Amino acid sequence: MSTIKVNTISPRNTGETISVNGIALPNAGTLANRNKIINGGMRISVRGSGAATLTETYPVDRFEQAFSTDGAVSFQKETTDVPAGFDFSIKGTVTTADGTVGSSQGWTIGQKIEGHNVTDLQFGTANAKSVTVSFWVKSSVAGVYCVTLRNGADDRAFVSEYTISSANTWEYKTITVAGDTAGTWNKANSTGLDVIFCLSGGSSKQRAAGSWGTFADCTSNQTQILETLNANWLLTGVQVEAGTNATPFEYRNYGDELARCQRYFTWSDDGNGGCYEIGAAINSERIAGPIHFNQTMRTTPTITIYSNNLVAGKVNLYNNSSVNLGSGFIAGSVRAAGYRFVTDGSGLTAGTFYSWEWSADAEL
């Protein structure tokens, strides 16, 4: 039986370090809701297909990739290549190499954190708190890589370097950044803090590490894996928390994590068919009725209508034949939307029921 040794615990606001088996725990604030990142364990992938694809902007919910037009990258959700303690990761693979990354070219993936969720950091004031970023990472190309914190206006950034020491080996990294006492930091429902992992970045995206300054993704030491065909990079266990200690990864139950993701993107079901909305045609051209979102959304979302087999811009008749949608009108709020679909021509039958699926997108 193992022995757990706990340091003498005084009031938790005294600044005394508390540790269990040598692992530092928070010494101020709450033990729960430490992680500013949503879906840091890469479990929720309602938005992404999970399969390798060149076009998937969100391989898992809340993590958005961006890459240059030179070269091509395929991202996917991984269920087997993971470090101990995790079931999922995301994996990016270079499918078309860019021989030399141009000055404005690059490849990043990261998460925009809503301003409401980072107000306690007090960035932009004299009381700005330090932030610690921790994560598990693996790549086929060893070398120096970068993590950048940026504001929503992209005019304040702090670039940090970390080193992948051994190719094809999961490694745990922690980075602590002093809070920014300057700049403008959103504290409402727009981007409050952008956390960016850089895989390649040209000269116009580079700046020295270690201080707050203007826009940047990386330093000149950045490993340019976009230049290597079939090179890969994997990530999981991402945590961003106040303070100078990297605490153990905060595991949330599935329902809580899913609900957090659904504030930014949600389907009428999980995106795999079988669950849909039903409404009756008012006349030969119109269907009207409500849509209720799974969670209160960040802002009024963009709504897309799909047939039951997920073809955008169509609705289905009860016999599963589909009808094209033409111009239409959807008005709504963060809780629900009223819809009025207009078909191409006069393809509807008044009083007949039709079905469809929908997605609502309120991402940052």
* Structure-block tokens of residue 301: 């979302």
Cα–chain-centroid distance for residue 181? 26
CA atoms of 248 and 20, how far apart (whole Å):
11
Supply the pLDDT for residue 271. 46
With H, G, I as helix, E, B as strand and everything else as coil, classify residue 256.
helix
Count of CB atoms situated within 10 Å of the CB of 361: 14
Supply the pLDDT for residue 152. 96
> Which residues of the chain fall below pLDDT 50?
1-16, 52, 54, 271-274
Supply the pLDDT for residue 352. 82
Helices (H) and strands (E) in the chain, counts: 1, 21
Contact, 191 vs 143, CB < 8 A?
A: no
Supply the pLDDT for residue 309. 72
Supply the pLDDT for residue 72. 82
Supply the pLDDT for residue 24. 60
Burial of 219 (0-12, 13-18, 19+ CB in 10 A): buried
Q: What is the pTM of this model?
A: 0.88
- Sequence-distant contacts of 247-256: CB under 8 A, at least 24 apart: 247/23, 247/24, 247/25, 247/26, 247/34, 248/23, 249/35, 249/40, 249/41, 249/85, 249/134, 250/32, 250/33, 250/34, 250/35, 250/40, 251/41, 254/43, 254/44
At 18-45, the pLDDT tens digits run 565 565 655 555 567 899 999 999 999 9
Supply the pLDDT for residue 179. 98
